[in-house]
Structure 1
């Protein structure tokens, strides 16, 4: 079979199963079976073999460890200390609690690497508080969901770990490249909150005194050491991303059980169970997506795509926009990790042909997929926030669209001006950037 014949089987079957609401992980695996059956050179046993090979990865061990570290931090009540610090820093701005929501998400992103942990942990604390202070429920849920996307952009990021392991890109370089886009996204949301606060006269907190700010900073130093340990250790070459994730778990345990004494020993098994359950879902997606991706590579579908687009003279800018649009669309329907494995491997030859830097290509993909966490029908972070806020999804979409508009502007900056994101990696890790 040719590349186009296989594509005409894989993608329609996969999309049809997703449309029928078959879980994405199963849809990916089931879509592969017709090709395995029709092709004499292949057998269905290859599906299991490719899944097994994908799990046999040292880098992927970082995924469950980062999830566990985030859940331990949540269970230990670390979020409360980050809220106090955020209140001291930005609570006096118009729409104080909205700014606090964004700042906490930025700080927690540097600990968890997971947007869903961010949405669940921070949303359960701040959504009820914002509603009590008079913020509209739709805006409260929208800003909580949108701010949580920074969890996979600001380092450490689970998506960047998966991307780096899959595409053989420096994970330390990816972490550094995510700092400025994460900061710009946070700033764009704070501007939106400021405008909302002026229009609807949302409440503010009094400005914290120097003593109160100093106390909040000191109380937040221990959890804020987590990103410094992880990112600093990886960038400095002291340990690998997987080792860094394990160290983050140990540090979170020591901090919760011994340091703050807020995490009780009887609670730890439940945290481990929840983390294992969420990690199993993600990693099962990795397995079936890897089998799907193997078929794409076996039939040279990415090469066929490059050959098809060559006559159009694609350059770095146009290719960057194609990559952005493709990831934005697929992120609306499936989880980010299988999207990386499938679409990343398909588009990378095109990006390489067009001269895109591998780190630039990765950041475009990660940021675009992060937006999929707040766009229906998938929109996992939005669904979590709506459940906490007890509001229907459709009632939130207007505010989500307003908040996403300037965030899309940041994404366009990332696509059109790669020097913005590559500046920090080139400054600190020039040997891995080029």
Structure 2
């Protein structure tokens, strides 16, 4: 009699099995939550505007689902390695050092999650004493998203360590993180006597060490904040979890996932293609014509998607092949793409505008109105560089589009070109709020894709929804961590000292504005736009008001300054995103981008010097 033996599954297969199961457990609910948010908000708009019977529970339910979407999205982003991190220095290290730092970038979040999960559970329990006004249920149902999300991220981080690294490297990375943490705990009695010097140690030293070492920005902020409060104050850590929850739960931020999804929809339905084809027929025969098209297309598409990555991904694959065929160098293409990314940061409905409004209390609709002209000023300065660079082009082989072809392409593009105006009109006429208007855009794009362009790839919907959740989760976790960090800085009295220092600068408002430009260019290159805004917006805007600087004018200068930093190499993360989207090596664009960055700086100075550009249409 023969016995049948079954092979034992290898440890790697077991890890892969659990990783796949975890992906299903998180990705499907996250995708369904994006769909649910769209329908809840759209139902609220329809019921209020068309039926004149507001749904009193819609905002409350949307807010409750939103925190779950943010946390599950953060889990997906961690599993995919998509949390925002600065890799400019890491990429210059040797392959072995780079591999080790990549493992540290998983081990450090693990330390943060172990630190935060207890306070998150405590916070969720405390929220049980609160009953929601409209739905009449315990607020624990919403707050439970935080400990559940942290527990799932812990599991993901452990699985990633097991999947991606050798056991020697894993032990070394964990030992390094444990040694740094142990060192801080050991010297904590000394830290109590250092006062505000601790701010430098934790919020400059530790944050810089983590960010430059490639640790995701959200976890770098979180480690510094929790370390500072746990080791130098007697503040209950559940209070900081509450501040994180507050930062992530602004209903206005719900437009982040919805505009990200809208950006993917306009690319999938062919609307982006239609707009670009029309612009190319208008300007394709002019010297540097397609470069002007690139500038114009980024301006138009930015008004729709709100996400720079989505904007560039919609435009580069459509325009770049034809531009290369006409002799454009890859380095010049990626340089201009990155520069237009910075140029369009203020064009509504930019995620940075929405975030800034939510953390500083500046009117979102005022920011949307004020953001249009600054983008045009920077577009003009970029076009001046394009004209200079391409003034000697030979266009003898390029056929000019006939008037009939232009009219035909305009007719095809009209429904797509109308979308930014539909969104703008819905906000101005009071049909929808800045949060809800994205759902009108989504409904419009779905209708256009199904019935006008007849292009709607149903199979792409699921991955698009999951991508939306992942990108949103990575953004919202940064906002939550930075809100906690800003609160800790405020409690320490730092904001008052900063206000005094900047207020005492000679030259008044002029000097303050110049200092702000320099500060936010640096912050934009190191932290990216959204983390820098959440962290420093609440500190800087009250000072600007004291100086007599209009808050919308100051917002435009700050956002454009960060955009210049964000898309300027060697540190600007946005520049590397442009390279990744266009599949062009970063080295090729380093030299060509200098002229475009100089043009952006000239445009920025003009916007800073002439307040009317930002506030002329507000009254």
The TM-score, its normalising length taken from structure 1, stands at 0.92
Q: Which residue is equivalent to 1:425? A: 618
- Alpha carbons of 1:311 and 1:272: their partners in 2 closer, same or farther (altered >3 Å)? closer
Q: Which moved more, 1:314-323 or 1:276-285?
A: 314-323
Q: Which residue is equivalent to 1:23? A: 216
Q: Which residue is equivalent to 2:354? A: 161
Q: Which moved more, 1:323-332 or 1:218-227?
A: 218-227
- 1:234, CA displacement in angstroms? 1.7
1:267 to 2:460 alignment: yes
Q: Which residue is equivalent to 1:102? A: 295
Q: Which residue is equivalent to 1:114? A: 307
Alpha-carbon distance in 1 for matches of 2:378, 2:278:
20
- Alpha carbons of 1:364 and 1:58: their partners in 2 closer, same or farther (altered >3 Å)? same
1:395 to 2:577 alignment: no
After superposition, give the CA deviation of every residue in 1:202-244 in whole Å (9 maximum; x if it has no partner): 7784443333222222222212222112222223333210011
Match of 2:436, SS state, is: helix
- Alpha carbons of 1:310 and 1:141: their partners in 2 closer, same or farther (altered >3 Å)? closer
Query: Does the 8 Å contact 2:503/2:512 carry over to 1?
Result: no
Alpha-carbon distance in 2 for matches of 1:419, 1:101:
27
- 1:94, CA displacement in angstroms? 0.7
Alpha-carbon distance in 1 for matches of 2:439, 2:212:
38
- Alpha carbons of 1:203 and 1:413: their partners in 2 closer, same or farther (altered >3 Å)? farther
Query: Does the 8 Å contact 1:172/1:234 carry over to 2?
Result: yes
Within 5 A, what are the aligned runs for 1:9-408? 9-199=202-392, 201=394, 205-408=398-601
Alpha-carbon distance in 1 for matches of 2:195, 2:330:
52
Alpha-carbon distance in 2 for matches of 1:90, 1:200:
14
Q: Which residue is equivalent to 1:432? A: none
After superposition, give the CA deviation of every residue in 1:90-122 in whole Å (9 maximum; x if it has no partner): 223211221221121112112112211111221
After superposition, give the CA deviation of every residue in 1:386-417 in whole Å (9 maximum; x if it has no partner): 23544432331111111111111110011111
- 1:164, CA displacement in angstroms? 1.0
1:415 to 2:581 alignment: no
Query: Does the 8 Å contact 2:222/2:481 carry over to 1?
Result: yes
After superposition, give the CA deviation of every residue in 1:131-185 in whole Å (9 maximum; x if it has no partner): 2221111111111221233443222211111111111111111111111111122
Instruction: Return the structure number with greater relative CO, CA threshold 8 A, min gap 6.
Output: 1
Query: Does the 8 Å contact 1:302/1:350 carry over to 2?
Result: no
Match of 1:280, SS state, is: helix
Match of 2:376, SS state, is: helix
Return 5+ residue gaps in structure 2 as ranges: 1-193
- Alpha carbons of 1:241 and 1:272: their partners in 2 closer, same or farther (altered >3 Å)? same
Query: Does the 8 Å contact 1:289/1:338 carry over to 2?
Result: yes
Query: Does the 8 Å contact 1:301/1:346 carry over to 2?
Result: no
Query: Does the 8 Å contact 2:285/2:395 carry over to 1?
Result: no
- Alpha carbons of 1:307 and 1:384: their partners in 2 closer, same or farther (altered >3 Å)? closer
- 1:186, CA displacement in angstroms? 1.6
- 1:380, CA displacement in angstroms? 3.5
Query: Does the 8 Å contact 1:169/1:359 carry over to 2?
Result: yes
Match of 1:82, SS state, is: helix
Alpha-carbon distance in 1 for matches of 2:397, 2:417:
25
Query: Does the 8 Å contact 1:111/1:223 carry over to 2?
Result: no
Alpha-carbon distance in 1 for matches of 2:197, 2:501:
11
Alpha-carbon distance in 2 for matches of 1:4, 1:203:
66
Match of 1:398, SS state, is: coil
After superposition, give the CA deviation of every residue in 1:251-293 in whole Å (9 maximum; x if it has no partner): 2222223332211222211211111111111111111111111
Query: Does the 8 Å contact 1:127/1:388 carry over to 2?
Result: no
Alpha-carbon distance in 1 for matches of 2:501, 2:343:
35
Alpha-carbon distance in 2 for matches of 1:18, 1:373:
15
Alpha-carbon distance in 1 for matches of 2:573, 2:321:
20
Alpha-carbon distance in 1 for matches of 2:542, 2:362:
14
Alpha-carbon distance in 1 for matches of 2:470, 2:367:
27
Alpha-carbon distance in 2 for matches of 1:151, 1:216:
25
User: What CA RMSD, in Å, does the superposition of the two structures yield over aligned residues?
Assistant: 2.0
- 1:381, CA displacement in angstroms? 3.5
Query: Does the 8 Å contact 1:160/1:175 carry over to 2?
Result: yes
